[in-house]
Amino acid sequence: MKKSLSAIMLVALVGCLSMSLPATVYATDGMNLEGYGPIATGMGGASMAYDNGTAAMMNNPATLGLMPDGNRLDVALGYLGPNITVTGPQETTSQSNAFYMPAIGWIQKSGQSAYGVGVFAQGGMGAQYAADTFLAAGSGEKVRSELSVGRLIVPYAYEVNKNLSVAASVDYVWAGLDLKMALPGSAFLDMAGGSQKYGTVSGSMMTTFNQFVTFGMLQSPSATTTPVNYGRFDFSNNDPYTGKAMGSGFAGKLGGVYKVNDALSVGLAYHSKTWLGDLTTNSAQVSFNANVDNNLLNGSWKPGVSGSPAATYSAVPIPLSGKIHVVDFQWPQMLGAGASYQVSDKLMVVFDYKWINWADVMKNFKMTFTADSTQAGLAQGFAGTELDATLYQKWKDQHVFMIGAGYKLTPEWVVRAGLNITNNPIPDTYVNALFPAIEKNHLTLGAGYMISKASSVDASYTYAPRVKATSPQVGVIAHSQNNAQVMYSYRF
């Protein structure tokens, strides 16, 4: 009865927590964290072949079968401290530099079976720059992005025999995105019909836009001043817990771990690609700062009705309200394999390899904006129109190598260290200052302390050295991180 009541209370807590995970997790291995749970993260993120607590739900769920019989509750808090600078016409620093992520997991191991529930932050990326920086493109408004992905996980592990455990999980996945992105007029027009090197814009909104130019209502692209000074996408709720555009769906994991002998274990895990619905909000804005004919502005000219164009122009904002879809955003499939070797009673070494299939899901970043049927002012001509925007991404797959060790100083104390080494998945041509997921390598440290037979505390620290990418669009993007995790575990 006591165990059942504890499980019911935990499920209720997990349900509440799943609605309140912080909105942004800054990119480390692409958009993934460098490790899940401080035990694994302290050893470079390696986690495929040994008991690393309930974080196994995010790693290899089969290692849950290595737990001793009983219940385990883990409550964790993560800190991410990114440092991002962009050097273009001027140098600017991202104002997003500290984020906190709670996580919780519960597992009951009984005989050959282990099962439970947990909530974890999967990953994300983002940045924020001041309104007076060159990245604002003259709009006078800040630019920012916050992408988050979280999971509510229900795993089941089964000990086939004393050497082999297998497992599967069903993951409910949700994602949220805030975006306040500015495009200089030259970039917008290039996407509309220029070289389209970095992306495209199309749709009925562009048909209307071209008609405005043809009738002289907007400055001709052949003039010294182009029709558009800048364009903006705006959907953001400034809420630290949820993104403005939201979507949800499912994914799953399979895993196995095999004890070769008393010292050596090997593990294998597969994480499926997600099945997420489009990230959607009914409260978004697309705006243009356009060069509009002065006679149209003062009402002395109505095309096809009266008057004539002045052929002189003033910069005027044209805001459009509407609905936006971030189309087919998915988290990639992952295949991981690893080994753990108990060198002695005190020393364990671990090694993992992961293949992360970013190339399949991050070819493009697509948005579809549909303007409301009622608009005000100059925006009336765009009512009900649609804009399809695509930013090329062309990410590469990541190959992540993790190596680490844990050493028992005393029966109570263990210390850990590791390396996490990978490639930057984003080609320099397409890296964006709002999505700077370019980190490569991580040095990790950790420690654990057994308070009693029932409870323990584990912590990890990660340093990701500064890396740089040169974007032909904005300049040099530099990124480093100082991250930490801490976890309290209770066994009953």
pLDDT per position as a tens digit, 243-266: 899 999 999 999 999 999 999 999
Q: Dump pLDDT digits (tens) for 31-56.
A: 999 999 999 999 999 999 999 999 99
Mean pLDDT of 379-388: 96
Distance CA 479, CA 146 (A): 16
Q: Which domains are present in the chain?
A: 2-491 (2.40.160.60)
What is residue 157's three-state secondary structure? strand
pTM metric for this prediction:
0.93
Decide if pLDDT at 397 tops 50: yes
Distance CA 72, CA 462 (A): 25
Distance CA 368, CA 245 (A): 12
111 and 68 Cβ atoms separated by less than 8 Å: no
Distance CA 331, CA 124 (A): 10
Lowest mean pLDDT among 213-222, 370-379, 453-462: 213-222
486 and 462 Cβ atoms separated by less than 8 Å: no
pLDDT at 238: 72
pLDDT at 223: 62
CA distances from residue 456 to 52, 65, 107, 267, 412 in whole angstroms, order as listed: 13, 20, 16, 25, 9
Among the listed residues 474, 480, 403, 404, the one whose alpha carbon sits nearest the alpha carbon of residue 440: 480
DSSP 30: T
CA distances from residue 107 to 7, 19, 112, 151, 491 in whole angstroms, order as listed: 9, 21, 13, 16, 10
pLDDT at 26: 55
Q: Which two tokens stand for residue 148?
A: 């988050």
pLDDT at 246: 96
> pLDDT tier at 25 (50, 70, 90 boundaries)?
low
422 and 398 Cβ atoms separated by less than 8 Å: yes
- Residue with more model confidence, 430 or 16: 430
Distance CA 86, CA 385 (A): 35
Burial of 154 (0-12, 13-18, 19+ CB in 10 A): middle
Q: Which two tokens stand for residue 480?
A: 């480093």
pLDDT at 126: 85
- Residue with more model confidence, 343 or 97: 343
Among the listed residues 333, 452, 337, the one whose alpha carbon sits nearest the alpha carbon of residue 397: 333
pLDDT at 27: 59
Query: To which H or E segment does residue 294 belong?
Result: helix 294-297
Decide if pLDDT at 12 tops 50: no
Q: List all residues 6 or more positions away from 218 whose beta carbon is below 8 Å from its beta carbon.
A: 209, 212, 227, 228, 290, 291, 292, 293, 313
Instruction: State the pairing for strand pair 264-271/245-259.
Output: antiparallel
User: How many Cα neighbours within 13 Å face the side chain of 438?
Assistant: 29
Q: Dump pLDDT digits (tens) for 337-362.
A: 999 999 999 999 999 999 999 999 99
> pLDDT tier at 220 (50, 70, 90 boundaries)?
confident
For the chain, give percent helix, strand, coil, nearest 5: 15, 55, 35
Mean pLDDT of 308-335: 96
